[in-house]
């Protein structure tokens, strides 16, 4: 769960660069490789947090689900429904990790203007070149996006709880 982003970026760079074993795929400095880097970084976090936050709910539900005589697929979806709040929290955390990441995407994407530059790398670049006002403006936009996502998730949870309480 503690993979350093720059290490992931370097390993992926070595694998996909012109001397790497996956060079034929021609993914270096591309958006698909940036997505692969994000998936490599976020998957262990999402999996670990999902397991730790859902395991107690699953253990409490197991006897009831077996007693109902439901098929394995119905048990799975009912358990998923029971864990919806925990899962929303986990995936909000994973989203936050993804939008705040700079190292790996900059290494494998190359920070190419209008092609592979993302907000976090643009903020870092503008800060490093002394354009603090633009870096702060981009930071405020990124913060607004994150807050909007949390607001939407909170509203969805509130609506789901109200619907659940009425049932």
Does residue 160 have a pLDDT over 80?
A: no
Q: Which residue has the higher pLDDT, 163 or 4?
A: 4
Q: What is the pLDDT of residues 78-130, one digit of tens each?
A: 888 888 888 888 988 898 888 888 889 999 999 999 999 999 999 999 999 99
- Cα–Cα distance between 143 and 22 in angstroms, integer? 36
What does the alpha-carbon distance between residue 122 and residue 105 come to, in Å, rounded to a whole number?
Answer: 11
Q: Does the residue 93 lie in any domain?
A: yes
Q: Is residue 160 part of a domain?
A: no
Quick check: is 142 in a domain?
Answer: no
Label residue 70 by pLDDT band (50, 70, 90): confident
CA gap 128, 121 in Å, rounded: 10
> Which two structure tokens, joined as six digits, stand for 81?
């429904």
Q: Which residue has the higher pLDDT, 20 or 88?
A: 20
Q: Is residue 96 assigned to a domain?
A: yes
Distance set, CA 89 to CA 5, 21, 62, 72, 139 (Å): 22, 37, 22, 25, 23
> Residue 21 belongs to what domain range?
5-118
pLDDT tens for each residue of 137-157: 999 999 999 999 989 988 988
Alpha carbon distances (Å) from 93 to 70, 100, 165: 32, 11, 26
What is the average pLDDT value for the chain, to the nearest integer?
90
Distances (CA, A) of 43 to 1, 50, 90: 8, 10, 11
* CA-based nearest residue to 108, from 20, 19, 31, 4: 31
More confident site: 165 or 41: 41
Among 7, 160, 163, which residue's Cα sits nearest to residue 86? 160
- CA–CA distance, 81 with 7 (Å, rounded to integer): 36
Say how many domains are in the chain: 1
Which structure tokens are listed for 106?
Answer: 């900059």
In a domain, 144, yes or no: no
Residue 134 maps to a domain:
no
**Domain-located, residue 57:** yes
In-domain check, residue 167: no
Q: How far apart are CA 56 and CA 83, in angstroms?
A: 10
3-state secondary structure of 114: coil
- pLDDT for position 167: 60
């Amino acid at each position: 769960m503690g993979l350093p982003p720059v290490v992931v970026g370097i390993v992926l760079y070595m694998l996909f660069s012109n001397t790497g074993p996956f060079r034929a795929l021609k993914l270096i400095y591309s958006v698909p490789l940036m997505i692969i880097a994000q998936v490599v970084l976020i998957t262990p976090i999402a999996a670990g947090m999902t397991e730790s936050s859902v395991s107690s709910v699953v253990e409490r539900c197991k006897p009831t689900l077996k007693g109902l005589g439901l098929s394995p697929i119905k048990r799975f979806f009912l358990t998923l429904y029971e864990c919806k709040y925990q899962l929303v929290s986990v995936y909000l955390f994973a989203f936050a990790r993804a939008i705040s990441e700079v190292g790996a995407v900059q290494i494998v994407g190359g920070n190419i203007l209008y092609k592979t530059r993302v907000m976090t790398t643009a903020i870092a670049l503008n800060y490093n070149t002394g354009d603090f006002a633009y870096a702060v403006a981009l930071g405020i936009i990124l913060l607004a996006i994150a807050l909007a996502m949390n607001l939407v998730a909170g509203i969805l949870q509130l609506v789901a709880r109200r619907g659940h309480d009425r049932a």
